[in-house]
Structure 1
Amino acid sequence: MSTRALEGKVAPVTGESRGIGRAIAERLGRDGAVVAVAFARDLAEASGVVERIREQGGRAFTIQTELGRWGDAAALWAAFDAQIEQHAPQRGIDIIVNNAGLGLGAHLTSLTEEEFDEVFAINVRAPFFIVQQGLDRMRDGGRIINISSCAARLAMPEMIAYGSTKSALDTFTRNLAKELGPRGITANSVAQGIVGTDINSGWLRGNAEAESHAGSLAALGRLGQTSDVADIVAFLASDDARWITGGVIDASGGIGL
């Protein structure tokens, strides 16, 4: 894939201010996309992502929306519409990356109704309506990429609700592929494994034993990095992946094989 394979494409990406989202945003920016950095609270982090993209010759801007609330998708698109003309001559979009998600660790017996509703609102409902309300902006031949998890295919009782949301997201992806195929729009999930990000810092960072164990779970024998996921997303966003749709692409390094 060429280094500017996404030249001129417009790509809103949710949850971009840190971790995997930041890596995805910066990679798409390096490949030439105009990146809309959607974030919930940390303006400083999101602005830092935009600055890094611009330093590398790319184009990017921030849009703030807190997902998991009624009307979140409409608010995201309103914020996007208010700025897009300043950054791209055409108002349409080419790529949607639903990366924002809540990682909830709770067993069946301890999970509360409030926690259940929150994780499904952020991980399932928000992507659903972001896509639904974004379709009239998406040009034919576009790309929808949903960030899923290997928890969708593995029994992980300690993350039962989180895994269930990612299974739902994968089902959503397959249905999008069928529904939008006539427009040449592809839809794929990228199922991440254990990645060394802030969300895992509490039990991974500074704990050599935990890092070694996490790495041993993967067939490739190491802990995942944010770039491992971002590079797959960039491929799926490119024309090279035009014949891949409805797939759940394993990005776990082979966990559970």
Structure 2
Amino acid sequence: MEKKNKIALVTGGSRGLGRDMALRLAEKGLDVIITYNNRAEDAQRVAAQIEAAGQKAATLQLNTGVIESFDRFANQLNTTLSTHFGADRFDFLVNNAGQGGYSPVSDVTGAFFDDLLNVHFKGVYFLTQKLIPAINDGGGIVNISSGLTRIAVPGSSVYASLKSAVETFTRYLAKELGARGIRANVVAPGAIMTDFGGGHLRNNEELQKFVSSVTALGRPGVAEDIGGVVAFLCTEDARWVNGQRIEASGGMQL
């Protein structure tokens, strides 16, 4: 009987950190499902790269800020698992999808807060809740947080507070799902040069110089610094890592 590959689902896998996570997971021998919000062509290109490397891949549309869409998404996921992978469950959920948002505390509006809340915490919470029954025993959940839960940078109070909530949620997942052998961990990237937040860091040379000056390894991060950490957590090598926050920041503000 043919041994089936394990399957990872990466939200926001069409670009940036999510794209690198998906590619690194495939390198580890996992099949990968990636979600995208509105960049279908980008997602399809990532899937094509994964398939060219010998793994199976599929793409699904998902806006993680629209909680009402999760029932429909779960149904689409079940269909994709069955038709494309010959499976009824998957193994690893990577909650990566997100967006930037910057405002001093004095200027934060309810709409600004709710927009980030829905994507970065409420969406993560209820998507995970919805998909837990579809995760195989012995699988895992990797939630993406931020170095900003440890280092306070003015303008990021809402985003960072929501990521702190995700870190707490992750510890509860680890505790409550332990009986099924499902691990839950957090990866917290430092300052990374992607198009996240409209290229907030990538397009600002002065900010890059500052980040370099406070980072032990002397440079800002790139997407390729993060994906391998996530992929590691989705392998047997990480089977005893559970309920942990792993910061991948090059040693920022130590």
- Structure-2-length-normalised TM-score: 0.94
User: What is the match of residue 101 of structure 1?
Assistant: 98
Give the conservation status (yes or no) of the 8 Å contact 1:81–1:91.
yes
Change (3 A) 1:45 1:78: same
**Distance verdict in 2 for CA 1:232–1:41, change over 3 Å:** same
Correspondence for 1:88: 85
Of the three residues 43, 49, 66, the one matched with 1:52 is 49
- Indicate the SS of the match to 1:139: strand
Structure 1 match to 2:234: 237
Give the match for residue 40 of structure 1.
37
| 1:200, distance to aligned residue in structure 2 (A) | 5.4
Cα shift at 1:203: 4.3
CA contact (8 A) 2:212 2:220 kept: yes
Is the partner of 1:135 in helix, strand or coil? Answer: helix
Letter of the 2:9 partner, please give it. Answer: P
Determine whether 1:191 maps to 2:193.
no
**Equivalent of 1:172 in 162, 169, 174:** 169
Q: Would you say 1:151 and 2:148 are equivalent positions?
A: yes
* Distance in 2 separating the partners of 1:42 and 1:116: 24
- Between the aligned residues of both structures, percent identity stands at 39
Structure 1 residues 202 and 38: CA distance shift in structure 2, 3 A: closer
**Structure 2 counterpart of 1:218, from 198, 215, 225:** 215
Contact 2:170 2:243 in 1 (8 A): yes
Kept after mapping to 2: 8 A contact 1:19/1:226 = yes
CA contact (8 A) 2:64 2:127 kept: no
Q: Give yes or no for contact 1:193–1:253 (8 Å, CA) kept in 2.
A: yes
Secondary structure of the structure 2 residue equivalent to 1:191: strand
Structure 2 CA distance, aligned partners of 1:148 and 1:11?
A: 18
Q: Is the 8 A contact 1:25 1:35 kept in 2?
A: yes
Residue aligning to 1:254: 251
Structure 2 CA distance for aligned equivalents of residues 126 and 226 of structure 1: 23
Contact 1:73–1:126 at 8 Å: present in 2 too?
Answer: no
Moved more, 205-214 or 55-64: 205-214
Q: Show structure 2 runs of 5+ residues with no match.
A: none
Deviations 1:190-221 (A, max 9, x none): 00111110125644445544322222222211
Q: CA RMSD in A?
A: 1.5
Segment drifting more, 141-150 vs 130-139: 130-139
Equivalent pair of 1:189/1:248 in contact (CA under 8 Å): yes
Deviation at 1:79, TM superposition (A): 1.9
The reply on whether 1:124 has 2:137 as its aligned counterpart is no
Answer with 196-205 or 40-49: which moved more. Answer: 196-205
Indicate which of 71, 75, 99 corresponds to 2:72.
75
Structure 1 gaps, min length 5: 1-6
Query: Normalising by the residue count of structure 1, what TM-score does the alignment of the two structures yield?
Result: 0.93
SS at match of 2:187: strand
Amino acid at match of 2:58: F
1:8 is aligned to 5
Distance 2:108 2:145 in 1: 21
| 1:190-209 matched pairs, under 5 angstroms | 190-199=187-196, 202-205=199-202, 207-209=204-206
Cα distance in 2 between the residues matched to 1:166 and 1:205: 21
